[in-house]
């Protein structure tokens, strides 16, 4: 929609063109009629400047529409009565009536008033003859029909534009809401990630410190000086590990061993649990044939750490078998099987460990399976997909059975390649 300045330019230019054409191209019969016609143009421009201009844009005073319509109707009727060419004044009157009226009903009604005024002026300006009545009626009917058709079309376009503007505002608000929700979801995901990292690193290490400190105190009270000294040395080493882990968390990096070879990182983690506990741990890492990206390494090492920690704290197992596989395509599998007391998986878990493992594996696009029977041990299987994992491999992974150690059974180092179901 045009602004006030746009309508100022249109009214000024069109009025000047009508006046010039009236004087030089289509002059009426007699100077008096020319003066009256020019006066009608001046009345129309004055009515626009004093009344109609301020009603172009909202807010609109209620009195301005009927006042401007009255002035425009008088100017158009008087002008058409003075000179037939003054019917051109309708080209300004009709659109302004629609704009200032700001509704279909007012636009149609105002157009009818302007058309009636032009009909009366054109019909009676030179005498009410049959020809003048016919000419005035024809002009009024065609101009009114055209004005209403164009007015309704423009009104529909304006409403469509307003509707699009409303929808755009709603879409913008919806996008802002989605952005806010995304930020909240990202913050929540980051909190969950930090919780998992703290649980898998500092919490595990501090729990180990408590165990070793209790052992050192007991050995000291029993007079086992050398054993107590060895345990204190272990406490010192674990404390150093906790310090390194905390620095890694502050730096927003995974607190896992930094060796370039994944197999070496696994061996170091297993060796740490061997030193800190009495459970025998057999490691089979011969099937590590490919390379893993950093994220996959973090997932497997965290899961292995959590599984071994659960065995140490809850399973009371004598033997643990660990198998790690990495295919050439990057697909990886981790299997941890113990001969401990086991548990009933259907009863759920109140701890954060298994839940954290499940969430971490799911984020990596993998699967976690926990198979356990009370009194018959537990098997934890983690599988991460590779870039070119085939459907046959996935089917075989889904049908392979878990490996568990019976109480007192020697640790096996030739665990099946596919482990428990994914």
Residue finishing a domain among 128, 150, 178: 128
Q: Which residues contact 17 (CB under 8 A, 6 or more apart)?
A: none
Q: Tell whether omega for the bond before 229 is within 30 degrees of 0, i.e. cis.
A: no
**CA distances (Å), origin 305, targets 42, 173, 203, 297, 322:** 93, 45, 12, 12, 11
- The Cα 232–Cα 326 span in angstroms is 37
Which residue has 């909190």 as its token pair?
Answer: 191
What is the average per-residue pLDDT within 55-65? 88
Higher pLDDT: 45 or 154? It is: 45
Residue 134 lies in a domain: no
DSSP 279: S
DSSP 335: E
Residue finishing a domain among 94, 128, 162: 128
Residue 204 lies in a domain: no
Least confident of 48-62, 245-259, 354-368: 245-259
Q: Which residues contact 78 (CB under 8 A, 6 or more apart)?
A: 36, 39, 40, 43, 121
pLDDT band at 254 (very low <50, low <70, confident <90, very high): very low
DSSP structure string for 112-123: HHHHHHHHHHHH
Residue 144 lies in a domain: no
**CA distances (Å), origin 259, targets 18, 159, 240, 256:** 90, 67, 18, 9
pLDDT band at 417 (very low <50, low <70, confident <90, very high): very low
Three-state secondary structure readout of 176-219: HHHHHHHHHHHHHHHHHHHHHHHHHHHHHHHHHHHHHHHHHHHH
Is the pLDDT at 323 greater than 80? The verdict is yes
Residue finishing a domain among 128, 149, 165: 128
**Domains identified in the chain, total number:** 2
Q: Give me the CATH number covering residue 403.
A: 3.30.565.10
pTM reported for the whole predicted model? 0.44
Backbone torsions φ then ψ of 326, nearest 5 degrees: -135, 115
- CA nearest 40: which of 64, 15, 23, 58? 15
Residue 172 lies in a domain: no
Residue 381 lies in a domain: yes
Residue 191 lies in a domain: no
Residue 15 lies in a domain: yes
**Which domain does 296 fall in, by range?**
261-422
pLDDT by residue (tens digit) across 131-148? 767 776 777 788 888 888
pLDDT at site 160: 81
pLDDT by residue (tens digit) across 84-96? 888 889 889 999 9
| Helix or strand (DSSP H, E) at 58 | none
- CA nearest 333: which of 264, 413, 255, 421? 421
- The Cα 390–Cα 349 span in angstroms is 33
Neighbours of 54 (CB within 10 A): 15
Residue 152 lies in a domain: no
């Amino acid at each position: 929609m045009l602004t006030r300045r746009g309508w100022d330019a249109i009214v000024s230019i069109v009025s000047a063109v009508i006046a010039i054409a009236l004087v030089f191209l289509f002059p009426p019969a007699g100077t008096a009629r020319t003066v009256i016609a020019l006066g009608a143009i001046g009345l129309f421009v004055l009515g626009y400047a004093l009344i109609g201009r301020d009603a172009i844009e909202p807010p609109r005073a209620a009195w301005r529409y009927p006042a401007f319509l009255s002035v425009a109707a008088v100017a158009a009727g008087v002008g058409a009565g003075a000179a037939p060419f003054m019917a051109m004044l309708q080209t300004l009157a009709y659109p302004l009536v629609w704009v200032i009226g700001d509704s279909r009903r007012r636009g149609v009604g105002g157009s009818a008033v302007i058309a009636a005024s032009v009909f009366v002026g054109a019909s009676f300006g030179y005498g009410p003859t049959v020809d003048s009545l016919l000419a005035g009626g024809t002009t009024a009917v065609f101009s009114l029909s055209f004005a209403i058709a164009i007015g309704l079309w423009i009104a529909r376009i304006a409403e469509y534009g307003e509707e699009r503007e409303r929808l755009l505002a709603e879409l913008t608000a919806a996008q802002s809401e989605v952005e806010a929700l995304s930020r909240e979801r990202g913050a929540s995901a980051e909190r969950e990630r930090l919780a998992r990292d703290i649980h898998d690193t500092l919490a595990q290490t501090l729990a180990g410190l408590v165990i070793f400190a209790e052992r050192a105190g007991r050995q000291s009270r029993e007079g086992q000086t050398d054993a107590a000294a060895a345990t204190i040395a272990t406490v010192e080493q674990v404390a150093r590990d906790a310090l390194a882990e905390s620095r890694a968390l502050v730096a927003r990096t995974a607190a896992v061993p930094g060796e370039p070879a994944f197999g070496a990182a696994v061996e170091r983690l297993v060796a740490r649990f061997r030193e800190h506990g009495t459970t025998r741990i057999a490691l089979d890492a011969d099937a590590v044939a490919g390379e893993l990206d950093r994220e996959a390494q973090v997932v497997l090492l965290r899961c292995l750490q959590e599984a071994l920690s659960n065995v140490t704290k809850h399973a009371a197992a004598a033997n643990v078998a660990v198998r790690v596989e990495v295919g050439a395509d990057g697909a990886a599998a981790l299997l941890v099987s113990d001969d401990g007391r086991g548990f009933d998986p259907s009863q759920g878990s109140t701890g954060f460990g298994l839940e954290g493992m499940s969430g971490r594996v799911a984020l990596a696009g993998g699967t976690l399976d926990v198979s356990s029977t009370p009194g018959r041990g537990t098997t934890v299987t983690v599988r991460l997909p590779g870039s070119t994992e085939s459907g046959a491999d996935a089917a075989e992974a889904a049908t392979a059975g878990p490996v568990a150690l019976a109480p007192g059974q020697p640790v096996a180092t030739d665990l099946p390649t596919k482990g428990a179901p994914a």
